[in-house]
A and B are shown apart, each in its own frame.
Chain A
Amino acid sequence: MPEDARVINIVEAIRESLAEELARDPRVVLLGEDIGQLGGVFRATDGLITRFGADRVIDMPMSELGIVGVAVGLAMRGMRPIAEIQFADFIHAATDHLIGEASKISYRSAGDWKCPLVVRTAYGGGLRGGPYHSQSVEAYYTHVPGLKVVAPSFPADAKGLLAASVLDPNPVLFLEHKAIYRSVMGVVPEGYYLDELGTARRVRGGDSITVLAWGAMLHESLAAAEMLAATGIECDVIDLRTLAPVDKAAIIESVRATRALCVVHEDTRTMGFGAELVAMVSEWCLDDLRYPPLRITTPDVGGIPVADSLEDAVLPRRELIASEVSRSMSRMPRSSQGSRFDAAIPVATSVVSVRMPEAHLERVLAAIEEACEAFPECNAEFTWAGIRYHPTVKIDLDLGSRSPGSTSGTVTVSDYGADATVLGLPAVRRGQTAAFRIGAVRSGSALLALSVDHRAVDGGAAGRFLELVKTKVEQ
């Protein structure tokens, strides 16, 4: 951090942005309840009426519908209104003008009219506000084409994204989580700058699981990631920053790398924005997921309750996030090679008895390598786009407790030696279609089992492949 770096909180960053907007563009006006003399109930507009006058920082009556409806008109007239709805819980009264009007003005007039409106509102719980001062409202508005929804988590983002929202020709709902207004500090550049709407940012790198969050939950997720790191789980934490349009590319890229997904949001569960994120990941990279996607949310409770004990019982906190992620990822054993297995692979297994000398391993490996040339589908990978044949044969030799062997091969052979049972059925690893397991040698013979990915190799071919290996071993 440079020595002169200036650290401020989110509400200060927003106030600074509003002041810069008022100074930069005479078309910018602020309107809302208590934003003038009082400076806003959270002080986001503190001092602005003194600097810019009551014509541009306008105290409005308790008329949420009127505030947003009039702001829509100002925007259509070519102004750049920034309306404040004191609490997101009160924005429902103005929904008609956001969902029914602002979002549709461009479309319904085929671009003849535009609505460059920003509506700021304080949302979220954690401050013992009760059912009407704690709601998260993003899901209602991310559903609406034509509206943009922004939800910053850091002071510098709040400033740059607010500037971008004012410049955007579309209506933008700018969601400010009230619980982090002052608790989250950060370096914020002085002067006007623009961030980019629709872009997410990785705020912590990791390869175990992708965690998507915004607002206060982003910070709880970061704390949870810290706790999980101590147990060897590294979270790839993505701050979505803009929910509509959401940064699909960044989400897919992260999930493809970690192959696990967790969404954390403070809104209630059913039809929350997490449902859309999970659906999106399912559509784009379901095959990459090693675990069912995880949603950590407030339960479908009738309201955010005020009593300490009750509110704490419903809002997701770092401990819950850490334990849920940990529990989710332990549903399947995570051995060093655990990620090589895929429960989705439908396996067919065949077994033959093979005459085996005492030192038979090299013979068996050579026989398999040779037989693969005649059965290329057994040295391949199934993908929904088609079978991908591996150009060469490379055997992952799994010697059990003696050596688990490599995991980068194209076919797997397990030989547990003295630990071997008479018959063991091998699992097929991700990226392969065939796995062998050599049973314990009894009276000069052993059972050799072959499992194949049934989507790539049919039972008859597997049987012939196994017979060929047997012939070669017994030669």
Chain B
Amino acid sequence: VTSEPRSVENPSGESVDPWIAYRSMLLARRLDDEMWRLARAGQAHFAVPCAGHEAVAAGYALALRRGHDFVAPHYRDLAAMLVLGLTPRDVMLHFFARDADPCSRGRQPYAHWGSARWRIVTLQGPQPNHVSHGVGIAWGSRLLGEDSVTWISFGDGGAQKGEVHEAMNIAAIHRLPCVFFVETNGYTQSVPLSLESSQPDIVARAGAYSMPGWTVDGLDVQAVYRVSVDAVAYARSGAGPCLVEAKCYRYRPNTSNDDDSRYRSASEVEIWRALDPVLKARAVLPLADAIEVEHQVQLLVTDAVEWAQAQPSPDPSTVMEHTYA
């Protein structure tokens, strides 16, 4: 079983290979299902669901140059991590906090991504401090004379922090090559968008920073891909940063420690379930292709879970290592 995703080159056309799109999203969804089950069964500390954000994450990641462009990701961007270089085994090593966890070697809880090799910026807990980091990275790329773009993803909750204003303002003043990408799922854990933001469309802020802004249906991977290609091209051109808002929905609770029945109804979730982005991506494939993808994904997921769970935990004698570089 190979856990490497198919090579994903940035196509010049307006749509992404639907086979690759479906495979990337399904892999994230199936891993997500497994992690939810394992955390609930007490076999892991913490799950951070991505279900509902697969089209958002796969769509933008497929528009980037893997290993060249930088990504300061949102914690729900599992599908993007898989497209950009992390393997299912890597993800599960991180989930189980094993010694070989490529993101943190067992130091950070699940969904705190990071890989210098794949240019995935190490992610912190307090959201969304990585927005500033992404701006600094974009600035560094320009000063170093490299044409890489920095993709900065964060939630509609994170978008409310003063941090985001300062970072967007600085990026806009200096026309830095980065894309601000808001994944609006309507909730900051339990608090609805109406109590998060005086302006329901976060993309409206783009004008305040004299940058272009686009809104996209975050349940449609092709739409996200198309707008991402445009946004990346804009940032790479030297014109400056831009803002993209992708509207989506989170199907599961905020984390394995959350109880979403306290703040939203099952019927609300069911309405959004009917718009499932993974099913939408499947619908455009011939049935035989879809079944083939599902078969491959199942093998990858089973292998990753079983293999990673059997890997050793970090040696306690290494606990102080890397406190200082």
Q: Are B136 and A72 in contact (CB under 8 A)?
A: yes
Q: Are A97 and B129 in contact (CB under 8 A)?
A: yes
Pick the residue among A66, A105, A111, A114 that contacts B132 (CB under 8 A). Answer: A66
Q: How many residues of B contact A (CB 8 A)?
A: 43
Q: B128-144 interface mask toward A, CB cutoff 8 Å, 1 = contact, 0 = none?
A: 01011111111111011
Tell me if A76 is interfacial: C-beta within 8 Å of chain B. yes
Q: Are A111 and B126 in contact (CB under 8 A)?
A: no
Q: Are A63 and B166 in contact (CB under 8 A)?
A: yes
CB distance from A173 to the nearest CB of B (A): 14
Q: A72-B136, A106-B325 are in contact. Are A66 and B170 (CB under 8 A)?
A: yes
Q: Are B169 and A63 in contact (CB under 8 A)?
A: yes
Tell me if B300 is interfacial: C-beta within 8 Å of chain A. no
A148-191 interface with B by 8 A CB criterion: 169-170
Tell me if B162 is interfacial: C-beta within 8 Å of chain A. yes
Q: A75-B136, A109-B114 are in contact. Are A61 and B143 (CB under 8 A)?
A: no
Tell me if B322 is interfacial: C-beta within 8 Å of chain A. yes
CA distance A100 to B126 in the complex (A): 8
- Inside 8 A of A467's CB, which chain B residues have their CB? none
Give the one of B124, B129, B162, B325 with max A CB within 10 A: B325
B108 to chain A: closest residue by CB? A108
Q: A65-B162, A113-B121 are in contact. Are A107 and B129 (CB under 8 A)?
A: no
Q: Are B132 and A112 in contact (CB under 8 A)?
A: no
Pick the residue among B135, B163, B323 that contacts A107 (CB under 8 A). Answer: B323
Tell me if A400 is interfacial: C-beta within 8 Å of chain B. no
Q: Are A96 and B136 in contact (CB under 8 A)?
A: no
Q: Are A61 and B169 in contact (CB under 8 A)?
A: yes
Q: How many residues of A contact B (CB 8 A)?
A: 44
- Inside 8 A of A201's CB, which chain B residues have their CB? none
Binds A, one of B99-107, B212-220, B302-310: B99-107
CA distance A71 to B140 in the complex (A): 9
Tell me if A272 is interfacial: C-beta within 8 Å of chain B. no
- Inside 8 A of B144's CB, which chain A residues have their CB? 27, 77-79
Q: Are B322 and A111 in contact (CB under 8 A)?
A: yes
- Inside 8 A of A56's CB, which chain B residues have their CB? 143
CA distance A181 to B137 in the complex (A): 33
CA distance A170 to B323 in the complex (A): 9
B: residues with CB less than 8 A from A are: 70, 102-105, 107-108, 112, 114-116, 121-122, 124-126, 129, 131-141, 143-144, 162-163, 166-167, 169-170, 173-174, 321-325
A: residues with CB less than 8 A from B are: 27, 29, 55-56, 58, 60-61, 63, 65-66, 68-79, 81, 96-97, 100-101, 104-116, 145-146, 169-170
